[in-house]
Amino acid sequence: MSAYIFAIFAVFCWSFNVVVASSLVDKLTPWQIAGLRWGIASIIIFPFIFNTLKKNIKVLLKYKTWLIWTALWGITICNTCVYYAAYTVKPVTLSLIGATGPLFLLFFAWILMGKHLSMRQFLGLFITLVGVCLIVLHGRAKSLGIGNIQLGDWWMLGTAITFGYYSYRVANKPKDLPYLPFLYVSIILGTIMCLPFFIYDTIHNPFDYSINFTPKIIWIMLFMGLFNSLLAYLAWNRALEKGDTVKVGMIYYLMPVFSSLESWLILSEPLEWIHLIGAIIILYGIILTNKKSKSA
């Protein structure tokens, strides 16, 4: 039960990500948002990192390449894609496309580990992807040209893919790599990899403190640094460690529910019929994918 509580907490925190992204894209660049968010998380864990390194330096060095790649996909790239997507895509659509992340977790487990997928799971995966395509194309069946696909749709699909890959790596974390040192070092490494892009963006888009650092934005960034970055990743990784990967992944599909309500309450975003139809198709595909066979 604790695994699902951790997972629900993480998804609830992350659900604000699309709302925050939509409210900040005209004030900060994607790499500035990512750099500030992870920079705050790094500052929070800074007092603990030296003791962690001292106690676990050998095992951390042993898996240094694994840690760098995991941090790159899960910390540096994954969430930054959301902020690029927010330029052209509404929060509800962002959350619906992003919610397919666990299906890519299943896909990577199949491709990289040879995990057996039943015909039902293949069918469920296909149906879910149909739902995603319907949302991405905004239901415009009369004209399926590439011009109808917004760039932000693909950025958000990139978020789902990288999140699925990150979750696959976390679910298969080396057993002798301690949990907290892994998380702390991942955050620090991810922040370091954000830094060059953050500096480049800031040189070309200098901060205007009267616009970029209002009390509202400061509180938002502090929330993202503590909850979206540190505590949510702490909870999600713990959930993957304690619970069944597929069942924990199912909790992630609460994301559109949380994000839709938050977008409606905070941003006054309307809910369109295409979101409902796409969500129903995705949900059916997810249920089909995770349904146990009678012989199981």
Sequential pLDDT tens for the chain (296 residues) = 678 789 889 989 988 888 888 788 788 999 999 999 999 999 998 888 888 888 899 999 999 999 999 999 999 999 899 899 888 777 777 777 777 787 788 788 778 776 666 777 678 777 877 776 676 565 444 444 444 457 788 898 899 899 889 988 988 889 899 888 898 999 999 999 999 999 999 999 888 877 778 888 889 899 999 998 899 998 988 888 777 776 677 677 777 778 777 877 777 777 677 767 877 887 787 677 666 655 44
Cα(102)–Cα(252) distance, integer angstroms: 7
Q: Is residue 12 part of a domain?
A: yes
What are the residues whose beta carbons fall under 8 Å from the beta carbon of 45, sequence distance 6 or more? 184, 187, 188, 230
Cα(202)–Cα(105) distance, integer angstroms: 34
Could you tell me the residue range of the domain that residue 224 belongs to?
A: 2-290
Cα(154)–Cα(178) distance, integer angstroms: 35
pTM over 0.85: no
Kind and range of the H or E run holding 223 = helix 215-223
CB 194 within 8 A of CB 202: no
The pLDDT assigned to 117 comes to 65
Q: Is residue 296 part of a domain?
A: no
Tell me how many domains the chain contains.
1
Q: Is residue 295 part of a domain?
A: no
Instruction: For residue 210, give the amino acid letter.
Output: S
Q: Is residue 218 part of a domain?
A: yes
Kind and range of the H or E run holding 116 = none
Q: Is residue 268 part of a domain?
A: yes
Q: Is residue 275 part of a domain?
A: yes
Residue with tokens 């894209």: 25
